[in-house]
Amino acid sequence: MAEVRYEAASRIYPGTEIPAVNALDLDIADGELLVLVGPSGSGKSTALRMLAGLETVNKGSIFINDVDVTLKPPQDRDIAMVFQNYALYPSMTVAENMGFALKQAGVSKEQRRAQVVEAARILDLEPYLDRKPKNLSGGQRQRVAMGRAIVRSPQVFLMDEPLSNLDAKLRVQTRTELADLQARLGVTMVYVTHDQVEAMTMGHRVAVLKDGLLQQVDTPRELYRRPANLFVAGFIGSPAMNLITVPVVDGAAQLGGLSVPLPDDVRAEVARRGLDEIIFGARPEHLALADVGASGEVAVVEELGSEAYIHVRVVHGQETEDVVVRVGGETAVKRGDQVSFGIAGATHFFDPGGDRLDGE
Amino acid sequence: MSSAITEHRDETEHADHADEVRRLERREGWNRRLPILPALIFTIVVTQIPFLFTLFYSLTDWRIDTPEPREFIGFENYGALPDDKFFRDAAWVSVQMTVLAVLLSLIVGTALAILLDRKFFGQGFVRTLLITPFLVMPVVAGFLWKSQMFSATFGVLNWVLELFGFESIEFATKYPLASVVVVLVWQWSPFMMLIVLAGLQGQDTSVLEAARVDGATTVGIFRQITFPQLRPYLELGTLLGAIYLIQVYDHIDVITGGSPDSKNLPFYIAQRSIGGGNRFGLASSYSIVVVIASIIIANIGLRVLSGLLEDDS
Amino acid sequence: MALFTRAPKAEPILGQNRVIAHVLALLTWLIGLLFFFPLFWLVLNGFKDELDANSSPKLFFDPTLDRFSEVTEDTTGLLSFTEAFGNSFWIVLISTILVMALAIPAAYALAIRPMRKWRDVLFFFISTKFLPIVGAIMPLWIIARDLDLLNTRAVLIILYTAMNLPLAVWMLRSFFAEVPNELIEAAQIDGCSLMGQIRQVILPIVAPGLAATALLCVIFAWNEYFLAVQLNPVEGSTMPVWVASQESGRGNFLAKLSAASVLATLPVVIAGWVAQKRMIRGLAMGAIK
Ligand SMILES: Nc1ncnc2c1ncn2[C@@H]1O[C@H](COP(=O)(O)OP(=O)(O)OP(=O)(O)O)[C@@H](O)[C@H]1O
Ligand SMILES: [Mg+2]
C-alpha cells in the first residue's frame, strides 16, 4: 500500500510549447481512491501516464511512498494499470493474461495459478480462464483487465477511463463494484474519467483538471458546495449551475427583478476591489418558484418524473438569460407561462476572472 | 513580477531532475533510431554508393577492355544521347512496355478481382489458378510462352490459328514487343488482382448496405462507393507494378533475346557494358538517364503514396 | 445445387440476378482455366518424350518421368540441377532471413516508436526501390569482381537482401502499426523487457504479416534472373540461370526444358498456393494502412 505525491510535475510533449500537465501538485493518501476529472484534452491521461512511467516528467518529481520514482521505468514502480481498451494480449488466454506480470517477475507456475484463480474468483471469471479475449463480452474483458491488475497486488492501481467502453447500465453497475473492490483491497487508486458523475460517485477525493492545470482537489461534497472557480462550478453538478454576470448595486447582485444580498465577506471583497459586476451562481436545486423574485417566460420544461427542470427566460439588462429552476414532483407549469423564482439554498459569487469571491 | 519569482523558484527547486530527464530523452531518441540504422546503412551502402560510382563513370570515356586509362570527358556522353539512335529506340521501347504492361495488368487484374469477389462453386480453386502465373519464374514464363504458345511450329496459339484456317505466325519474331507485353500482363494481372481483391474485401459493408437501402443502382454503387474505396489500392498497384516493370530484363532475354523492337533500356545497358559491350562510360550515362526518369515517376508515385500514408499520422 | 450462394458479406458488385450469377461463375472458371492453361501445358510437356513434345500440340500421349530424371541427373553442363537447387535454396533462405532481421527492427522503430521524421525514412526506403538496378549494376559488377565475389553465393545474398529490404520494411511497418500502443505499454508495466515485449506480445500479433512478407521476399529472390546471370553466370548460380542454360543451344529438347521448368517453379508455386489468403490480407494491411 502506498501514498503518491506529485511535486510540481510537468509534461511537455516534444514539439509542443504548452505543457500538457503543468506543475501538478497532488498528494494521494494510502488507500485513497482519487479521481482525476476534466474535459477532453485537459491532461488527465497524461498525468496518469506520468505516474505510470509511460511519459517522461520534464519538470518536477513524482514520489511513491516517499521514494522518488521520476526517473524509474514503469516496471520498477510496482503499479498496475487498466487501459481504456483493456489492452489484453490477444494471443494469450485469460489465465495467461492475468498471470503475465507474475511470469515476468519469475513467480513459479503453481503460485501463479493459485493467484490467478483467486483473482478470477473475486471477479467471477473462473469459467473463462481458458478463453481468448476475443471470445469474451465487453464487460468480461473489462474484468479480465481488472484481474490482471489485481493479481499482482501492486502498490497503486491506475485506471484510464476503464468503463467508457461499457453500455450505460453496465457502467453504473461496474462503477459500484469497482469502488467496492477498491475499498475491500484497501489499495491506493488513481482513476481517470471525463464523466463528472462517475467522479463524484466513486472518488474519495476528486481532482479537477483543465488545460493541464489543477483547478481544485477536494471531496465530492466540498467540490459541490464550494467550487473554487467558475470552471469547477460549471463542470461539477448536473444539471449545471446557473452562472450569470450581474451588476452589483448597494451590496446586492441584481438579476431581473431579484436582488440577492451579498454575504459580508463577498461584499467586503467587492468593495475592496471596486467591482461593479460579478458572476452569480446558483444550482437549479437551490432556486425555487416563488410569488416574487426574478420573473420571466418559461422556454422549456424538462420532465424527469420525480422532478422537473424549468428553463426561465429572464430579461436582464439588455440581454436575456435562461435560468434553470428545479421543481420537485409533477408541475403544472407549461411552456409560455410567466413565472417568478427566488433563492432557496446556496449561492456562489465569482469575480469576472472566475475566482471565488469568498475564497480562502 | 510575482510570477517571475515563482517561476524562478520552480526552476531551482526542481532542476535536480532536469539534466537527467534530458539525458534520458536523448537516449530514448537514440533507442528509437538505433533499430533503423542497420537497415538504413545496408541500403545506402549497397544501393546508393554504387549509384555514385555510376554517376562518376558516366562522365568518363571508360572502356573496360582497352588498357587506356579512363579519361574524364565531362558531359560528352550525355551530349551524344539525342543523336544515339539505339538509345532512343531502347528508351521508346521502355516507355511503351512499361505503360502497356502496367495499364493492361491493372485493367485485367481489376476485372478478375471483381469476378472473384463473389461466392461461387470452386471460388478458392479458381483464385488459386489465377494467382499461379504471378508465382512463376519469369525465365520459365518467357520460355513457356515463346516455345509452347507463340512458336510457329509447336505453339498452341498457332495451332488454334491454323484450326481456323489462318497462317501460322512466329509471334516472338514478328511482334516482339507485343509478345513480351502479353507475358508480362499474364504474370502481373494476378498481382494486381490480389491487391484489388484485398481492397474489395476491406470494403466497409455497412456503407454498401446503406447505399442499397437508399436505392442506389449497382452501377451507381460501384462508381460512387466501391471505386473511391478502391482507389488507393489501384494507385498502389500502379506504383508497385511500375517499379518492377520498368526494370524488365528476364522476359526480353528469353522471349526475343533482345531483338531491336523489344530491347528496353535496362537490357541495352547491360548489353553495352557487362554484357560484353564494355562501354562502361557510355552505358553509365544511359543508366543515369533511366534513374532520372525513374525519379520523376517516383516523385509522382510518392506523392500518391503520401496520400496513402496521410491518415495514420 | 445452385452454383451460386449469396455472398455473406458485401454484396457482389455485379448484382444478384441468378442467371447472370451463373453466367459470371462460368466465365470466371473459364478465365481461370485459360490463365492456368500455359502452365498446364508446361507440365504436360514435361511428361512427354521429345518426339511428342516437338510436334504439333498433342493432348494425349504416353506419360513418362524420364525427362525429370534426365534433367536432375544431368551433370554435363557447368551448373547441375542439384548445384543450382542448392545455391538457390541457400541464397534465398539466407537473404530472406537477413531481410527479416534487418527489416523487423526498422519497421518496429518506424511503427511503434516513431520518431519525428519517420515518414522521410520510410520514403527513403521506398525510393531506393525506384532506383533501377541498372543504375548500379556496373559498379556492383566491378566491386564484386575486385572483391573476388563474382560467381559466389555471397554476392547474390547481399544483393537480394538489398533488393527485398525496402518492400519488407514497408509492409512490416504497416503490420506493426496495427499493434495497439496500449498493448506495449501494458507489457512494459507488467515488467516485460524490450525483447520480451517483441517476442511475447508483438510477434504473435504480426506473425501472419511476417509470413506474408517473407513469402513475397522468397518469391522475388527465387525467381530473380538478371543479377544472377550478370554476376553469377556459372557454377555459383541459381535455378533461373539453370533453366535458361538448359535452353541455350538445345532447341529440340522441349520436353526436357519443360521438366526443368516445372522443377524450378514448383517450390515457390506451392508456397504461394499455401499462403495465398495470408498474402491477400498482408497486402491489404501492409499496403494501405
Ligand atoms: N503524444 C502526444 N504528443 C503531443 N501532444 C499530446 C500527446 N498526447 C497528448 N497530447 C496533448 O496533450 C494534451 C492532454 O492530453 P491527454 O491525453 O492527457 O488528455 P485527456 O485529458 O486524457 O483527454 P481525453 O479525455 O480526451 O482522454 C492534449 O492537448 C493533447 O493534444
Ligand atoms: Mg485520456
User: In this prediction, what percent of chain B has a pLDDT beyond 90?
Assistant: 27
Ligand nearest the Cα of residue A209 is 1
- Residue B113 pLDDT more than 70? yes
What are the cell numbers at B5? Answer: 519569482
Residue A215: name the closest of A350, A114, A310 by CA.
A350
Q: Which of A187-191, A355-359, B238-242, C232-236 has the highest mean pLDDT?
A: A187-191
- Residue C12 pLDDT more than 80? no
- Residue B2 pLDDT more than 90? no
Q: Give residue C6's pLDDT band: very low, low, confident or very high (50, 70, 90).
A: very low
- Residue B232 pLDDT more than 60? yes
Question: What mean pLDDT comes out for the span C237-246?
Answer: 87
**Cβ atoms of B180 and B267 closer than 8 Å:** no
**Closest Cα of chain B to A297: distance in Å?**
43
**Cβ atoms of B12 and C75 closer than 8 Å:** no
**Cβ atoms of A97 and C200 closer than 8 Å:** no
* Averaged confidence pLDDT in chain B: 83
Name which residue sits closest to atom 17 of ligand 1, judged by CA.
A45
Q: A193-197, A223-227, B143-147, C277-281: which has the minimum mean pLDDT? A: C277-281
**Closest Cα of chain C to A252: distance in Å?**
54
Residue B18 contacts A, CB cutoff 8 Å:
yes
What are the cell numbers at B114? Answer: 471483381
Question: What mean pLDDT comes out for the span C205-234?
Answer: 88
CA distances (Å), origin A350, targets A227, A238, A285, B116: 10, 19, 19, 69
Cβ–Cβ below 8 Å for C180 and A15: no
Question: What mean pLDDT comes out for the span A173-197?
Answer: 92
Residue A343, pLDDT score: 93
* CA separation for the pair A291, A283 (Å, rounded): 19
C-alpha of residue B312 to centroid of ligand 2, in Å: 19
CA distances (Å), origin C133, targets B126, C32, C40, C155, C236: 35, 33, 33, 14, 21
Residue A87, pLDDT score: 92
- Residue C222 pLDDT more than 90? yes
* CA separation for the pair B144, B136 (Å, rounded): 10
Ligand nearest the Cα of residue A208 is 1
- Residue C174 pLDDT more than 70? yes
Q: How many CB atoms lie within 10 A of CB C119?
A: 15
Residue C10 contacts B, CB cutoff 8 Å:
yes
User: In this prediction, what percent of chain C has a pLDDT beyond 90?
Assistant: 29
Q: A4-13, A303-312, C111-120, C181-190: which has the minimum mean pLDDT? A: C111-120
Between β-strands A79-82 and A156-160, what pairing exists: parallel, antiparallel or unpaired?
A: parallel
Q: A287-296, A342-351, B65-74, B260-269: which has the minimum mean pLDDT? A: B65-74
Residue C252, pLDDT score: 60
Q: Give residue B69's pLDDT band: very low, low, confident or very high (50, 70, 90).
A: low
- Residue B130 pLDDT more than 60? yes
Q: A184-188, C10-14, C243-247: which has the minimum mean pLDDT? A: C10-14
pLDDT in tens, A284-337: 999 999 988 889 999 999 998 889 999 999 988 788 889 999 998 878 889 999
* CA separation for the pair B145, B155 (Å, rounded): 8
Residue B31: name the closest of A180, A24, C193 by CA.
C193
Cβ–Cβ below 8 Å for A75 and C192: yes
List alpha helices for B70-84, DSSP H: 76-80
* Region label for B119, one of left (φ > 0), alpha (ψ between -120 and 50) or beta (otherwise): beta
Residue A53, pLDDT score: 92
Question: What mean pLDDT comes out for the span A156-181?
Answer: 91
Q: Which of A103-107, B177-181, B236-240, B253-257 has the highest mean pLDDT?
A: B177-181
Q: B83-92, C131-140, C217-226: which has the minimum mean pLDDT? A: C131-140
Ligand 1 contacts (CB < 6 A) are A 13, 16, 20, 38, 40-46, 194
- Domain B58-312 in CATH 1.10.3720.10? The answer is yes
List alpha helices for A293-350, DSSP H: none
Out of B14, B24, B28, name the one closest to residue A61 (CB): B14
Name which residue sits closest to atom 31 of ligand 1, judged by CA.
A41
* CA separation for the pair A323, A343 (Å, rounded): 12
Name which residue sits closest to atom 11 of ligand 1, judged by CA.
A20
* B 21-40 residues with CB < 8 A to A: 21, 24-25, 28
Q: How many CB atoms lie within 10 A of CB C65?
A: 10
Name which residue sits closest to atom 4 of ligand 1, judged by CA.
A13
Cβ–Cβ below 8 Å for B203 and C10: yes
Chain B residues with CB under 8 Å of A61 CB are 14, 16-17
Question: What mean pLDDT comes out for the span A151-173?
Answer: 90
Three-state secondary structure call for residue A144: helix
C-alpha of residue A193 to centroid of ligand 2, in Å: 8
Q: Give residue B137's pLDDT band: very low, low, confident or very high (50, 70, 90).
A: very high
Out of C180, C196, C200, name the one closest to residue A87 (CB): C180
Q: Give residue B311's pLDDT band: very low, low, confident or very high (50, 70, 90).
A: very low
**Closest Cα of chain A to B5: distance in Å?**
15
Give chain C's count of helices (H) and strands (E): 13, 0
**Cβ atoms of A290 and A241 closer than 8 Å:** no
* CA separation for the pair C166, B235 (Å, rounded): 18
- Residue C154 pLDDT more than 60? yes
Question: What mean pLDDT comes out for the span C90-104?
Answer: 96
Out of B10, B14, B25, name the one closest to residue A56 (CB): B25
Q: What is the DSSP letter of A319?
A: E
Q: What is this structure's pTM?
A: 0.81
Question: What mean pLDDT comes out for the span C137-147?
Answer: 87
Out of A73, A84, A100, name the one closest to residue C190 (CB): A100
Residue A355, pLDDT score: 93
Higher pLDDT, B279 or B12: B279
- Residue B237 pLDDT more than 90? no
Question: What mean pLDDT comes out for the span B63-75?
Answer: 75
Chain C residues with CB under 8 Å of A53 CB are 188-189
- How does DSSP assign C54-80, residue by residue? TSS--S-----SHHHHHHHH---SSS-
Q: Give residue B186's pLDDT band: very low, low, confident or very high (50, 70, 90).
A: very high
C-alpha of residue B269 to centroid of ligand 1, in Å: 55
Q: Which of A71-80, B193-202, B242-251, C94-103 has the highest mean pLDDT?
A: C94-103
Can you tell me the ipTM of this complex?
0.85
Q: What is the DSSP letter of B34?
A: G
Instruction: Please name the residue that has the C-alpha cell 446557473.
Output: A242
Chain A residues with CB under 8 Å of C192 CB are 75, 100, 104
* CA separation for the pair A142, A174 (Å, rounded): 9
Q: What is the DSSP letter of A355?
A: B
- Residue A165 pLDDT more than 60? yes
- Residue B117 pLDDT more than 80? yes
Q: How many CB atoms lie within 10 A of CB C252?
A: 11
Give the residue on C whose Cα is nearest the Cα of A79.
C189
Residue C146, pLDDT score: 87
Residue C285, pLDDT score: 59
Which of A5, A10, A12, A59 is most worth mutating to test chain B (most B CB atoms within 10 A of its CB)?
A: A59
* Averaged confidence pLDDT in chain C: 82
* Averaged confidence pLDDT in chain A: 92
Name which residue sits closest to atom 28 of ligand 1, judged by CA.
A41
In chain C, CATH 1.10.3720.10 sits at 79-285
Cβ–Cβ below 8 Å for C226 and B147: no
- Residue B305 pLDDT more than 70? no
Higher pLDDT, C220 or B27: C220
pLDDT in tens, A88-126: 999 899 999 999 999 999 999 999 999 999 999 989 999
Cβ–Cβ below 8 Å for A87 and C192: no
- Residue C179 pLDDT more than 80? yes
- Residue B9 pLDDT more than 70? no
Which of C118, C183, C190, C194 is most worth mutating to test chain A (most A CB atoms within 10 A of its CB)?
A: C190
Which residues 6+ apart lie within 8 Å of B226 measured at CB? B200, B203, B208, C13
Q: Which of A187-191, B217-221, C63-67 has the highest mean pLDDT?
A: A187-191
Q: Which of A31-40, A168-177, A243-252, B289-298 has the highest mean pLDDT?
A: A31-40
Question: What mean pLDDT comes out for the span A84-89?
Answer: 91
Instruction: Please name the residue that has the C-alpha cell 516472338.
Output: B172
Out of C106, C137, C143, name the one closest to residue B39 (CB): C106
pLDDT in tens, B37-67: 999 999 999 888 888 888 888 898 888 776 6
Residue B282, pLDDT score: 86
C79-285: CATH architecture: Orthogonal Bundle (1.10)
pLDDT in tens, A186-214: 999 999 999 999 999 999 999 999 999 99
C-alpha dihedral sign at B36, B41, B47, B48: positive
Residue B14, pLDDT score: 47
What are the cell numbers at C39? Answer: 502452365
Q: B65-79, B125-139, B173-187, C167-181: which has the minimum mean pLDDT? A: B65-79
Residue B98, pLDDT score: 92
- What number of C-beta contacts closer than 8 Å exist between A and C? 60
Give A229's Cβ-side CA count (13 Å radius): 13
Residue B216, pLDDT score: 76
